[in-house]
Each structure stands twice: as structure tokens, then as C-alpha cells.
């Protein structure tokens, strides 16, 4: 079984588009469709034909290109069951526990509500990669538009429980701004301080900070650390319920 190739490209102002290609079956999926045209250009550049769209949630910067791509390529659209009425052209509805094969590569789906009510994430266990949309960001997490802090904490917990080496593809380049908030709440975290410095260097050179890994996020992302005593101490909430610590961290980011 060949290794999957993931091609990442910039879309809109700060979204990433992803093409996932299986050389054995010739299948190509794009994860979300911020914009049809850059996706078509990326397909042409790689010489791949689109067979599937994997939507993570209904927001227009994730589904806006669905219909045009479907019309131009005849691809099949897979997306979240719990908000399917808001996903243009959806044909296969997925939710917690859904599995399908991409060529010979198994794909597993999690419900990760919080940013939107029906948000899903895609995990490819044999390939150690996950596509998490706007749920988990490098050093951040999605805004709570349609869910509670408790839902989001549980959703992030599912991603945090993936093997540490899992490569995590987030949908936006928000890392540098996220790092500022993270440093403000967890200034004594040496791993975070070192990472923030590296992120500044990368962005100064225009290098993408996505993907990341579960291991790196567990060590440095404040939104995954609400149950870690050192982080609770840093934010002045030692011994508090992790949901409350998470909610307070999210609140600080909202007004940062």
C-alpha cells in the first residue's frame, strides 16, 4: 500500500485547502472547499482528478466550492450528517463512528461539535493523519458559534486521544495570533515559548505552520491543557473543573 500524498495550498485570506491522493487507486479527495478555482488549479498542477469532497462543517469558507467542483469534476460529496441540510450537494452523510475506505486506506469519522453543531473530523489511522477543520488549530481551537464549552472540550478530547504522532491538518493559518494568547495564559511553558519563537521565524519567511501534531499540541496548546495542573496554576484555577478552565481560556481568546 502506497503512502498517501497530501497537497496543501492557500485559499481565501487564511484558509488552507487540502488534496489527498492515493497513488494506488488514483482517488483524490479535497478536504473542504474554501474556493473552487484554487482547488481546480491545484488538481491540474498535480495532474489528479477529484473523486470526493470531505466536508468538515457547513461554514461557507468550507463548503463554498462544493457545487462548482461537483459540476466540473463529478466528484462525490461527503459531509456531516448533523448539519447536512446546510452542506450544498451532500450525498453521503457521516457522523460519529462512520467509516469508509479511501482506496485501501480506512477513514474514521468523529463528531466534534462546538464550533458548529454538526462538525466532524476525519482520521486515517493507517496513515497517522487527521483533518480537523475548525475544531483544533495550531495553538488554538475554533470559536464556539453553535456549541458549549463542555461540548468543545469533549470534542478536543477525542483529537487529543489520537496517537501522539498523528499529523493534524487544521483549516486556517491562525497560529501566530494564537501563540500570543497562549503566551499570555501560559508564559512559564518553555515548550510554548520555544515554539512561539519558531512560529515567528516561519511566518516571517511565509512558511505554513500547518500541519501540526497531537504531541506538539498537547505540550503547548492551552485549549488542550485545561486539565493539566501546571496550566491550571498558570491561569489561576488550580483544581478547577477542566470544562471551566477551558471556558475561561476560550473567553480570554474571544476578547484578546
Q: Which residues are catalytic?
A: 57, 59, 61-62, 115, 134, 172
Query: For 153, phi and psi rounded to 5 degrees?
Result: -60, -45
The shares of helix, strand and coil residues in the chain, as percent rounded to the nearest 5, are 40, 25, 40
Least gap, CB of 60 to Zn ion (angstroms): 9
Residues forming the site for Fe ion (CB under 5 A): 61, 134
Contact yes or no for 126/146 (Cβ under 8 A) = no
Residue with cell string 469508509: 100
Least gap, CB of 5 to Zn ion (angstroms): 26
Cell of 128: 497517522
Residue 172 pairs in a beta bridge with: 15
Nearer to Zn ion, 102 or 131 (CB): 131
Nearer to Zn ion, 83 or 134 (CB): 134
Least gap, CB of 104 to Zn ion (angstroms): 31
Nearer to Zn ion, 134 or 217 (CB): 134
Nearer to Fe ion, 14 or 200 (CB): 14
- Residue 21 binds which entry of Fe ion, Zn ion, none, with Cβ cut-offs from 5 to 8 Å by kind? none
- Residue 119 binds which entry of Fe ion, Zn ion, none, with Cβ cut-offs from 5 to 8 Å by kind? none
Listed residue (177, 143, 129) closest to 14, CA to CA: 177
Query: How far is Cα 227 from Cα 240, in angstroms, rounded to an integer?
Result: 8
Distance, first Cα to last Cα, the chain: 46
Least gap, CB of 130 to Zn ion (angstroms): 17
Residues forming the site for Zn ion (CB under 5 A): 59, 134
- Residue 22 binds which entry of Fe ion, Zn ion, none, with Cβ cut-offs from 5 to 8 Å by kind? none
Amino acid at each position: 500500500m502506497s503512502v498517501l500524498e497530501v497537497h496543501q495550498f492557500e485559499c481565501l485570506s487564511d484558509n488552507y485547502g487540502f488534496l489527498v491522493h492515493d497513488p494506488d487507486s488514483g482517488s483524490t479527495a479535497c478536504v473542504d472547499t474554501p474556493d473552487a478555482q484554487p482547488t481546480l488549479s491545484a488538481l491540474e498542477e498535480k495532474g489528479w482528478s477529484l473523486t470526493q469532497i470531505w466536508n468538515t462543517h457547513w461554514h461557507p469558507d468550507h463548503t463554498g466550492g462544493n457545487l462548482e467542483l461537483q459540476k466540473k469534476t463529478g466528484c462525490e460529496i461527503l459531509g456531516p450528517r448533523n448539519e447536512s441540510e446546510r452542506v450544498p450537494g451532500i450525498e453521503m452523510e457521516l457522523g460519529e463512528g462512520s467509516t469508509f475506505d479511501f482506496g485501501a486506506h480506512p477513514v474514521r469519522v468523529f463528531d466534534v461539535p462546538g464550533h458548529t453543531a454538526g462538525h466532524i473530523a476525519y482520521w486515517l489511522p493507517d496513515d497517522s493523519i487527521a483533518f480537523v477543520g475548525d475544531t483544533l488549530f495550531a495553538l488554538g481551537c475554533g470559536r464556539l458559534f453553535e456549541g458549549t464549552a463542555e461540548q468543545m472540550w469533549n470534542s478536543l478530547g477525542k483529537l487529543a486521544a489520537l496517537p501522539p504522532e498523528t499529523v493534524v491538518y487544521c483549516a486556517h493559518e491562525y497560529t501566530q495570533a494564537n501563540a500570543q494568547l497562549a503566551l499570555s495564559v501560559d508564559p512559564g511553558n518553555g515548550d510554548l515559548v520555544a515554539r512561539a519563537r519558531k512560529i515567528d521565524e516561519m511566518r516571517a519567511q511565509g512558511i505554513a505552520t500547518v500541519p501540526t501534531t497531537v504531541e506538539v499540541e498537547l505540550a503547548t496548546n492551552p485549549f488542550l491543557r485545561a486539565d493539566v495542573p501546571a496550566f491550571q496554576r498558570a491561569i489561576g484555577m488550580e483544581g478547577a473543573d477542566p470544562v471551566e478552565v477551558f471556558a475561561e481560556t476560550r473567553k480570554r481568546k474571544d476578547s484578546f
